[in-house]
Amino acid sequence: MVLSAVRRARQAGRVAAAVGRYGVLPLRLAREAITGWGAIQRTWELTSLLGLARRQKPGVVMEIGTHRGGTLAALARVARPDAFLLSLDMHTWPMGPEPSWPADEARIRAAMLPAQRMVALRMDSHQAETKAAVESALAGRAVDFLFIDGDHTYGGVCRDWEMYVPLVRSGGLVAFHDIHYNPEDPVSQVDRFWRETRSRFRHWEFIDQDFPGGQGMGIGVLQIP
Ligand SMILES: C[S@@+](CC[C@H](N)C(=O)[O-])C[C@H]1O[C@@H](n2cnc3c(N)ncnc32)[C@H](O)[C@@H]1O
């Protein structure tokens, strides 16, 4: 009881600090994404990610693992008003096809600013034809902000890194979800990839360790030199 009150107070303190650093919009968007769109995120972690993105003002945003669209719709709101968005998702998670996807795609488009454009590819990120489709959609543009939240296996996240990070511009940001170890989900090994990779780059870590359960999730962001 006392412990959970202390945890809640710490979380509130972190959120307040993020609002002080990034303004109130990232918090508002993070709450909307989680409660209104079913984004699988924690408030302070997503607020901090959106705060960093807001500072960068990306013109090209790519997301691997869009799910219902909450994180991409929120990223669109901190991107440039004429940003290009690229969504890549098989939409077969957690089991079988994602029935809500066509409606979710329409909802993302409705949330975008009038001059923003989006290409949504319903493909497996690990296939060579998907990389070709991504390059064709980008039409020579470099990615400013890449969010990797697709296949969480070690091999899967390594492959997304190898295939798509070359498309990110120098100075661009690459974010990863689930960088925090979760013993209850041994298949998810983004934490291992993150530990091996982060020290080679300027990076930020947002891990709300006081969340009840205290395990898993967390967002890591690194900057391409
Ligand atoms: C954890 S969800 C993404 C959550 C979303 N970013 C959010 O916060 O609401 C992971 C998504 O990745 C997709 N996915 C998994 N492996 C993939 C792959 N190899 N290629 C494309 N999408 C993949 C799944 O279909 C699923 O929608």
Q: Averaged over 157-175, what is the pLDDT?
A: 98
Instruction: Centre a 10 Å sphere on the Cβ of residue 154 and count the other Cβ atoms it contains.
Output: 16
Report yes or no on 5 lying in a domain: no
CA distance 141 to 101: 26
Would 18 be classed as within a structural domain?
no
Pocket perturbation via mutation, ligand 1, pick of 90, 105, 127 by most ligand atoms within 8 A of CB:
90
| Position in ligand 1 atom list of the atom nearest CA 147 | 6
Domain hosting residue 121, numbered range: 57-223
Predicted structure pTM score: 0.95
The answer to whether position 65 is within a domain reads yes
Indicate which CATH number applies to the domain containing 190.
3.40.50.150
* Residues 33-41, mean pLDDT to the nearest whole number: 94
- 101-131: pLDDT as tens digits: 889 999 999 999 999 999 999 999 999 999 9
> Which residue ranges have their beta carbon within 6 Å of ligand 1?
39-41, 64-68, 70-71, 88-93, 124-126, 149-151
CB under 8 A, 24+ apart: contacts of 103-110: 104/68, 104/69, 105/69, 107/37, 107/69, 107/73, 108/66, 108/69, 108/72, 108/73, 108/76
CA of residue 219 to ligand 1 center, whole Å: 15
Per the structure, the count of domains in the chain is 1
Residue 80 lies in a domain: yes
223 by DSSP, 3-state: which?
Answer: strand
Q: Is residue 31 included in any domain, yes or no?
A: no
pLDDT surpassing 60 at residue 213: no
Tokens in use for 180?
A: 């925090």
Span from the CA of 20 to the centroid of ligand 1 (angstroms): 31
The whole-angstrom separation of Cα 215 and Cα 199 is: 22
Mean pLDDT, range 75-98, rounded to an integer:
88
Assess if residue 37 is contained within a domain.
no
Task: State yes or no: pLDDT of 211 exceeds 90.
Answer: no
- For residue 64, the CA-to-ligand 1 centroid distance in Å is 6
* Two tokens, residue 131: 């990389």
Q: Is residue 132 domain-resident?
A: yes
Does residue 192 lie in a domain region? yes
Distance 91 CA to ligand 1 centre (A): 7
Q: Using the predicted structure, report yes or no on whether residue 14 has a pLDDT greater than 90.
A: yes
